[in-house]
Amino acid sequence: MISHPQPIQSSAPGGIRSRREFLCRSGSGLGALALVQLLTGGGVLPSARAAPRGSLEAKPPHHSPRAKSVIWLFMEGGPSHIDLFDPKPELEKLVGQVTPPSFDLPVTSATGSHRMPIVASSRKWKQHGQSGLWVSDWYPRIAEHVDDLAVIRSCWSDGVNHVGAIRQMNTGSILAGRPSLGAWTTYGLGSANEELPVFVVLADHKPVRGGPTNWSAGFLPATYQGTLFRKEGPPILDLRPPAGVTDRQQRSRLDLLKALNRHHADRWPSEDEIEARIESYELAYRMQHAAPGAVDLNKESGATKHLYGIDEKETAKFGANCLLARRLVERGVRFVEVYCGSGIAWDAHSNLESNHTKWCKISDKPIAGLLADLGSRGMLEDTLVVWGGEFGRTPFIDTNSLSITPEDYGRDHNPWGFTMWMAGAGIRGGQTIGSTDEIGFRAVDKPYHIHDIHATILHMLGLDHLDLTYLHNGRAERPTINGGNLIHEVLA
């Protein structure tokens, strides 16, 4: 005789009425727990490892990091890769001809709807180091460090114009509103030195195009945004309290201000800007003890200042910023972005020769000095140095150059194929990765998008870009959105 399952009594409305239903619900519950674990581990759902909202406390990485800090050298305006790190002999054969039909040109506001005459590079090229990497005569000092560089010749992006392209290089999107890579780093790792900002931005010329959207926290708590240091004068104002104000008085004032802000924050818990304001006041108080020493370059020797070119007019400002970047990462700052030519100074639509001669002169010695200084201090082993702009430049002449003399030609924006390089943090230097086509226009071999660059930088810091998630509007957001692959060639 077949026995039927006996009902399980339940006094609660909608309670379990049979063994079969009990087993079904139990199985579903266990399955849901397993699903959550799988989704969290795969990065689809945010993991529970995060510290409290807006917290800057140190957090464990996902895996053993190669880099403690990142120094991003941002050549704003778009340096010409085919005149610096990506020689193209084919341009000599095609010079003066319109771009051949075999090269697919997109129709954009940058390239126009017609094909422009090819212009060759006027640089002298030479192989350097044991690796024999090619570098033009515009960067003779950086060329001395090629064995430390992994030169990625096949980068590409989506931003045709400066504001969108600079923003994408920082945030992964040409549109405003997403967190910058430095903000994701701050969110993922927290602070290594509570007396200094986690993420610092240094500019040298004019305001960065796109402004604070490039170092914004986006939809992350505002605490994670970057701290912009001043271009002129002291990098940080008011590092010392007013005369006659004791530390006890200042602490009392901050405690009162914190209590008022906390009262308001409790009434409006969704306003994370209040939490950021509280944290910024506390950080400013702590910085009064540590920051004066960090930003005081007078503590450096004359030889070190000379190494960075601080004693020369052309290189003084950018050299000082590169040295300041070293001093900051030395003290635990995790992410420092150093702009060279902020305000798109590298944007050579005309007069490429004079423009790049100037800005290569400004950047060559300080960058080489930074690499040498980090190496001599043993810091290059755990500091990742990244070089590049928001895009490269075209192999054909810019429309703005048609009415000027040939020697004053310029190149247009080129997001379809350009060069970046990385050094330090145990990467495999002395190599080129990927390639552009014969004229340097499109990335054709191993093309790497900005999302891949970001994924690789985060990996070096010990963060998995798939697992670094933040729940926003019901969606588990990632720094690389829905893309991003590691550039395995750079990993030694």
Q: Each residue of 174-199: pLDDT tens digit?
A: 999 999 999 999 999 999 998 899 99
Q: What is the pLDDT of residue 111?
A: 47
Q: What is the pLDDT of residue 106?
A: 67
Residue 159 forms part of a structural domain: yes
Residue 257 forms part of a structural domain: no
Q: What is the pLDDT of residue 11?
A: 45
Q: What is the pLDDT of residue 400?
A: 65
Number of helices followed by number of strands (H, E) in the chain: 10, 17
Give me the DSSP letters along 67-105: -SEEEEEEETT---GGGTT---THHHHHTTSBPPTTS--
Total count of domains within the chain: 1
Looking at the whole model, is its pTM more than 0.75?
A: yes
Residue 117 forms part of a structural domain: yes
Q: What is the pLDDT of residue 484?
A: 97
Two tokens at 177?
């509103």
Domain membership of residue 342 as a residue range: 69-234+308-490
Residue 113 forms part of a structural domain: yes
Q: What CATH number is given to the structural domain containing 389?
A: 3.40.720.10
Q: What is the pLDDT of residue 232?
A: 78
Averages of pLDDT over runs of 10 residues in the chain (492 residues) are: 44 58 64 52 45 76 98 98 97 88 65 71 97 98 98 97 98 97 98 93 96 96 92 69 68 69 70 66 64 87 98 97 98 98 96 97 98 98 98 88 68 96 97 97 97 98 97 95 96 82
CA distance 367 to 325: 11
Residue 255 forms part of a structural domain: no
| pLDDT tens-digit map of 447-462 | 999 999 999 999 999 9
Q: What is the pLDDT of residue 381?
A: 97
Residue partners of 80: CB distance under 8 A and separation at least 6: 121, 348, 352, 356, 392, 393, 411
First to last CA, the chain: 70
Q: What is the pLDDT of residue 174?
A: 98
Q: What is the pLDDT of residue 13?
A: 45
Q: What is the pLDDT of residue 122?
A: 94
CA distance 93 to 112: 24
Residue 20 forms part of a structural domain: no
Residue partners of 422: CB distance under 8 A and separation at least 6: 149, 150, 152, 384, 385, 386, 387, 456, 490
CA distance 157 to 240: 43
Residue 56 forms part of a structural domain: no
Residue 165 forms part of a structural domain: yes
